[in-house]
Amino acid sequence: MSANPLAAMPSATTDSLAVRRLQLTDFRNYATLRLSFEATSVVLTGPNGAGKTNLLEALSLLVPGRGLRRARIAALARQEAQPGLWAVAVGVRTPAGAVEVGVGRDPKGMEGGRDRRLLRINGRDSRSQAALGEVLHATWLTPEMDRLFLEGPSGRRRFLDRLAFGFEPAHATRLADYGRAMRERSRLLQEGPADPGWLDALEETMAESGVAIAETRRAYVRHLGKAVAEATGPFPGVALETEGLLEAGLATETPAAMLARYRSRLADLRRRDAEAGLATEGPHRSDLAVRHGTKGMPAADCSTGEQKALLIAILLADARLQRVARGTPPLLLLDEVTAHLDSARRQALFEAIETLGAQAWMTGTEAALFQSLKGRAQFFRVLDGAAVAEA
């Protein structure tokens, strides 16, 4: 249709992952929102508090995990809405064909006091987060991550694990299994004399899933490390390393030996962990060490702009690997991505996205920063929980 200004737009890869329809219901500051998209990238502009990040957050819930704000399920419901239910539904083009995915708050879970998400894939209820990971993949960059290298290891560990989901979908399930067993063990230890058989079983689960988690992290970082070592255009080369008890152990020991060693270590640590009220050693404490590849400098000592460039280099390299592994790059959710980027890097980023063939969702307060994407991306103006396509 000639009335459609997007009809002539290039779409770099004909079957790469692309959101074609989005519907939000009582989600954050959106009462209802229905939008359709071409397969090209999307630019969302609007003032602070308009709902740009909320929109990216909605998309981030379509992959395993808690989304880009790690929000509680209840916090996602529009404040004014009763009874606090929310839903996100998307139609996505994938290499395997069109897929409909819906995620929302489970009304039954609310009644029972066990808040959960309800997940539907092609109209059928799905229980597993991993199933979602098979269908969709997305990575994101948020302004909070500008501090990733300056803060403690938890943010970097989550960043690594989130990227590793795309590499190994079972990673999400293993992290959940590990976390559940770890919390249960901490609870038992704190409550006083615990059944040793029960503790043994929980520690067995922690050791099994923990070693698998560490193995995946090591394998993924080796894989990514090769792809990111060389500088690409204005983006620096990056040197990566996993740091952690199990990750280090696996450098010299077999997984079976590491599993046995960690299991007996956990048994030895029971008294200390009971006093601490938590598990003091394990893959939940690991870190990702990042260095500027060319300068050899730890990322924390690089400039803010360089840190952002390191993050983007990692994200783009991961997306290229995913494109090879899965036949399509992930959706890229890039919140306020132009902050701290000079214009050379900004243009290089736009070009890299296009070369990749990814549908990127980019936000910013000023449309001017995205000027060079005019005609190549779809622009929407976001205001007070509504989004309007711009010509």
Binding string to ligand ADP for residues 303 to 342, with x set by CB under 6 A, is what?
A: ----------------------------------------
Task: State the SS3 of 200-248.
Answer: HHHHHHHHHHHHHHHHHHHHHHHHHHHHHCCCECCECCEEEEEECHHHH
Q: Does 53 bind Mg ion (CB under 5 A)?
A: yes
323 contact choice in ligand ADP, Mg ion, none (CB below 5 to 8 Å, kind-dependent): none
Which residues lie below 8 Å from residue 23, measured CB to CB, with a gap of 6+?
A: 32, 33, 34, 35, 87, 88, 89, 90
Please count the other Cβ atoms lying within 10 Å of the Cβ belonging to residue 31: 13
CA-CA-CA-CA dihedral for 10, 11, 14, 16, to nearest 10: 170
**Which tokens is 304 given?**
């803010």
- Using only C-alpha atoms, the chain has a radius of gyration, in whole angstroms, of 22
Q: Contacting ligand ADP (CB under 6 A), which of 28, 174, 218, 284?
A: 28
345 contact choice in ligand ADP, Mg ion, none (CB below 5 to 8 Å, kind-dependent): none
In angstroms, the Cα distances linking 180 to 45, 151, 193, 200, 284 are 40, 25, 20, 14, 12
Residues numbered 61-80 forming contacts with ligand ADP, rule: CB under 6 A: 75, 77-79
Paired with 125 in beta bridges are 120
Q: Does 2 bind ligand ADP (CB under 6 A)?
A: no
Complex with ligand ADP: residue 5 or 49, whichever CB lies closer: 49
Min separation Cβ 65 and ligand ADP, Å: 19
Complex with Mg ion: residue 38 or 144, whichever CB lies closer: 144
The distance of Cα 93 from the centroid of its chain, to the nearest Å, equals: 20
Min separation Cβ 249 and Mg ion, Å: 41
Half-sphere exposure of 84 (CA within 13 A, CB side): 13
48 contact choice in ligand ADP, Mg ion, none (CB below 5 to 8 Å, kind-dependent): ligand ADP
The amino acid occupying position 124 is R
Prior bond of 143 cis (ω within 30°): no
Complex with ligand ADP: residue 121 or 360, whichever CB lies closer: 360
Q: Does 46 bind ligand ADP (CB under 6 A)?
A: yes
Q: Contacting ligand ADP (CB under 6 A), which of 23, 25, 29, 307?
A: 29
Min separation Cβ 376 and ligand ADP, Å: 23
Size of the site for ligand ADP (CB under 6 A): 14
Complex with ligand ADP: residue 54 or 216, whichever CB lies closer: 54
Applying CB under 6 A, the residues found at the interface with ligand ADP are 28-29, 46, 48-54, 75, 77-79
Applying CB under 5 A, the residues found at the interface with Mg ion are 52-53
